[in-house]
Structure 1
Amino acid sequence: MSIVSFAMALFAGVTSLAAGNVGTALVLFLVLTVVAVLTSPRAFPKSVSDASARAASAVDGRPIVYWRPGCPFCIRLRASLGRDANRLHWVDIWADPEGAASVRAVADGNETVPTVITASEAMVNPQPDRVRELARA
């Protein structure tokens, strides 16, 4: 998704620039580049496996966030957490089938993300403020 967005940014920018629309070219390139960055898996903290996240969470008590690249709700959550995102364990369900199974177990068989699991509760697409509270606790 992010590579496609960046390719679109280049295409739109070059096309508008060739047509003599420098301002439009710049705006299109910048907007689409920001979309590419936000949808990139690199915008998220390093993902770990479901097993690693569960083991670490059992020791440090931090919540686990299950996510997938390109998910707008995951992007919203990640952006709202800011630096607090590093206090959570992140599992990419597209990279870890066991993580996807964990999400299906609490989301009525669906792979709805973001899903946040703590020692006492599971939340499907929780409010970012709630997750921020958990991260800071």
Structure 2
Amino acid sequence: MSSGLQSVDPRLGLLLRQAHRRAAAAFAEALAPLELSGRHFGVMMLLAQDGTSTQKQLIADLGSDKAGMVRTVDELDRRGFVRRVQSPKDRRLYHLSLTDAGREVFVEARRLAGVAAQDIFADLTTAEQATLASLLSRVVEPSH
């Protein structure tokens, strides 16, 4: 190619979509005993990782829509897993964090998700899993 661009395998988008669907189904099944969805797990994972966040930041981090995020946070709040604290600087803004009950259920959710992940990635070596994670990170957050 004269432009210096490499040819891209046209299957990549489809393969990413199929991998996502398989992973989403496996995680949904794994989390079902806790009555959690992948959306719940994603929010809880970010809150466990960051300690606190806002709905706006969670929307950006998870690529969610506002209505879906409000619904997800409301459900977690009703179950006592998330605490909302109004910002003293901006009454429209709420800081979110996991409650003690939320942290406890997240530990079990992470264990169940880990079992599902082991099944999903069973055909990949540890090195291949690390390479896949690195490559996907570069696709998600390109350096250019």
TM-score, normalised relative to structure 1? 0.26
TM-score, normalised relative to structure 2? 0.25
